[in-house]
Amino acid sequence: MRGSAIAPHTPGHRRTLRTAGAVASAALLLPLLGAAPAPRQDTPVGLQNAFVAASARYHVPQSVLLGVSYLQSRWDTHGGAPSVAGGYGPMHLTDARTAMATEAAHRSEGADDARGDQARPALVTTTEVPVDAQLPARLKTLPRAAALTGLPAERLRTDPAANIAGGAALLAAAQRHLGEPLSADPADWYGAVAEFSGADDSATAASYANDVFAVLREGEQRTTDTGEDVRLPAEPDLAPDTSQLGRAGLRTADADGTECPRSVSCEWVPAPYAQFGDNDYGNHDLGDRPVSQRIRYIVVHDTEGRWDGVLKLVQDPTYVSWNYTVRSTDGLIAQHVKAKDVAWHAGNWYVNATSVGIEHEGFLASPDAWYTEAMYRASARLVRYLAGKYGIPLDRQHILGHDNVPGPTASYIPGMHTDPGPYWDWRHYFELLGRPFHATAGPRGGLVTILPDYAANQPRYTGCTTAGEPCPAHGSSEVRLYSAPDESATLIKDIGLHPAGGDSTIDVNDVGSRAATGQRYAVADRDGDWTAVWYLGQKAWFRNPPRQPVAVYASGFVVTPRDGLTDIPVYGRAYPEREAYPQGVPVQSVSPLPYRLPAGQRYVIGDVVPGEYFYSTTFTTDSHRVVVGKDLYYEIQFGHRVAFVRAADVRGVPSAS
C-alpha cells in the first residue's frame, strides 16, 4: 500500500515516467540451538524441545539450529503465515510458489493498485504464479525439506516442530554436500550454515554465516510470539572453520564500486542515467554530495514488490530510483545510485536532494508477511556505516520512514507514501543500530519518546486487504492519538491529509493520528493514565499507564512562536528566500502547508538547516546548481511526519523551561 520505490517525481522536475510490472519474488531460511531451560509453566511448552529433538534426529548441533533460526525469525512462528519472501516457520523454510498462489487469489479481491495511490496510473502487476523452474533454489527450500524428512509440505508450513525438523534436515544435507562429517562441534558447520542461507554468491553466504556465528558467540534469549521462553547460551570462544565456504561452488558477486561496510554483502546493480524522449531523462540526477550539499537524512522504505521485480524497476530509465535495496531472505544489499547522486525516492525534492533512500523487500499492509532478522541486521549495518560516513545523527528525525517525509506542498500531502508502515519494528531496528531508545530525563524533562512494547502493542487497523475490513491483530510500533483522554473520543484531525474536513481513520495508510516509536514530542498535559502532546497544532492524547507505559521521559530543545505572534506557518521543505536565486535558476515558492503552529505550543527540534534548493532539470550537468539562502529553518517533529519552520518565526528553548 503506497509502497515506496514507486514514488512519483516531485515539483520542479518534470518527467514522463511510465509504470512497469513488478514481478518475481524472494525468500530464505535458517536455524540453530542451545541447552533447554525449564519451560514457563504459564505458557505453551515445546519449541525449545523441538530444537533438541531435531538436533538428535538429524545430528545437527542444537546451537547451530537455534542460531540459524534466530537469524531468520528470532524463533517466532508467525502463526504459519509466510514472510515477505515466502518463508514459513521458525526456520524460514521457503515455499514461494505456494505463498504467491495464496497472495494472487487474495489480492484479486482488492484494489487494482497495491500502493493504494489513485493519483497515478496503477502499476501493471501480475498474478501469474511462476512454475518451479522459474524460481531460484533459495525460494523453494520447504519442498526440499519435505522430501528429506518425509513430512507433508503443509505440516512444515504450519507445525513449528516439523518446520525445525525440516531445517535440521537441510543443514545435515548441506554438511554432507560439503563432504563434512555430522560433527557435534558447531565450529565444523560454517559451510553448511552459509549454504543454508540460499545465497548464490560467496560474499552473501559468508555474511549470513558470520551473523549466525556472532549470535552463537553472544547468545540470545527471548520470549517468542507464542509466549515461550527460548534460550541460546553464549559460546564466546567459538571459532568456525571458514575455509569450508570455498567448497560450496558459489559465484563471486560484483561489489566493485559499491559504498557499503565490509560487514555486509553488497552488489552493484546500477540504476541508469539515460536520456530518452523529448527533454526527458532518468532515473536520477548526478550530483556532488557531500561537497555540494550535506546528506542529512536516511529514508527507510519498503518495496511493495519482490526482489527480482523491484530490481527490474530500478534498472528502467523511465522509472524512479533509490540508492539501495535489501533482500529479505539473506540480507543481500544491492546498490543502485551513488551517494553523491540524487535518487528520486522520497516524494519531496528537498528530502531527495539531502538524503539516501533504502528499500526493503516487503509490504506495509501485510503484517504477517514478516521481515527476517537477516534483513534487519544488514540494513542496520548499512545505516550505521552511512550515518558515520556522512555525520547523520541516529535518531528518528534523521532516520526517517517514508511515512515521516512531509508533503512538499499542500496538494501533495494526501498522496504522500506511508511505508514502511506501523508494522516496521523501529524499537528493534534502533537496538541493532546501537542507539536503543530509553528514558533520558525524569517527569519534569518536558518531552516523551514514544516507546511501546512492539509485540504487546496491537492497535486496531483496517484496510490491509479491503477498505474498512480489520487487519490481523499484530504488534505495532505506533500509538493512536485522540482529541480527549478517552478511547471513545474522536481521533486527532489532520487537515492536510483530509482537506475536506474529514476525520482521521484507523486505516493502515492513514497516518493522521499516529505517533511512532522513537519520535519525541513535547508534553502538553496529563490526566491519570493519559498523556497529551502537542501534535499538528493540537493537544493529542494517548493512553500511557505507568505500569504499561508506551512512552518514556526525555528532554531536549523545542521551538515555540516568538513573543507577539498568534501562530506561525509550517513548511514541507526548507527552500531559500527569493533573493538567494541567481540568474538562470527559477525561484521556488516557499509555500506553507495548511497547518499552523499556535502560540504556547512546543515542538521538538531535530536540526537547524539553511534554506537550500538543488536545481537539476537537464540531462547535462552544466546547469545543475545548489542554491543556499541566508534564511535558516528548524526541522521539527510536527505530527507523524517532520516539518520545517523559519528560525525567524520561533524561539528555541530547553524543553524543561
Give the residue from 59, 75, 89, 73 showing the smallest Cα distance to 175. 59
Note every long-range contact of 437-441, with CB atoms under 8 Å and residues 24 or more positions apart, other chains counting.
Answer: 437/517, 437/518, 437/552, 438/552, 439/552, 439/553, 439/554, 440/552, 440/553, 440/554, 440/555, 441/553, 441/554, 441/555, 441/656
Q: Where is 70: in which H helix or E strand?
A: helix 62-73
Identify whether the C-beta of residue 456 lies closer than 8 Å to the C-beta of residue 475.
Answer: yes
Which residues, at least 6 apart from 495, have a Cβ–Cβ distance to it below 8 Å?
501, 536, 594, 595
Altogether, the residues listed in the chain come to a count of 657
CA angle at residue 17 from 357 to 352, to 5 degrees? 25
User: Contact at 8 Å (CB) between 62 and 51?
Assistant: yes
Alpha-carbon distance of 75 to 223, in angstroms, equals: 9
pLDDT score of 116 = 28
d(CA 490, CA 548): 23
- The span from the CA of 657 to the CA of 654, in Å, is 6
Query: pLDDT tens digit string along 595-614?
Result: 999 999 999 999 999 999 99
The residue whose grid cell reads 552544466 is 622
Q: What is the DSSP secondary structure assignment for residue 523, as one 8-state letter?
A: E
Domains present along the chain, CATH in parentheses: 47-94+135-247 (1.10.530), 254-422 (3.40.80.10), 560-654 (no CATH)
End-to-end alpha carbon distance in the chain: 42
Burial-class residue 333 by CB neighbours within 10 Å (0-12, 13-18, 19+). Answer: buried
**Beta-strand relationship, 530-535 and 538-543:** antiparallel
601 touches 560 (CB < 8 A)? yes
Residues of the chain with pLDDT under 70: 1-45, 102-133
Query: What angle do the packed helices 160-177 and 47-58 form, to 10 degrees?
Result: 30
446: closest CA among 562, 549, 560?
560
- Residue 133: the pLDDT is 59
Instruction: State the pLDDT at residue 130.
Output: 52
Separation between Cα atoms, residue 502 and residue 499, nearest integer Å: 7
Query: Omega before 283 cis (within 30°)?
Result: yes
DSSP assigned state of 395: S
Residues 481 and 514 sit within 8 Å (Cβ to Cβ): yes
Q: H or E stretch including 276?
A: strand 274-276
CA 51 to chain CA centroid, Å, is 30
**Is 286:25 a contact under the CB 8 Å cutoff?**
no
Q: Which of 322, 318, 317, 280 is nearest to 305 (CA)?
A: 322
Stated as kind and residue range, the H or E segment containing 171 is helix 160-177
Residue 411 CB burial class (10 angstroms; 0-12, 13-18, ≥19): middle
Please report the sign of the dihedral spanned by the C-alpha atoms of residue 396, residue 424, residue 553, residue 534.
positive
Exposed/middle/buried for residue 638 (C-beta within 10 Å: 0-12, 13-18, 19+): buried
Query: Cα(332)–Cα(382) distance, rounded to whole angstroms?
Result: 11
Q: Which three cell numbers stand for residue 500?
A: 475536506
Side-chain-side CA neighbours of 312 within 13 Å: the count stands at 13
Alpha-carbon distances, residue 347 vs 11, 24, 397, 616 (angstroms): 9, 25, 17, 16
**Whole-angstrom Cα distance, residue 339 to residue 259?**
8
| Cα radius of gyration rounded to whole Å, the chain | 25
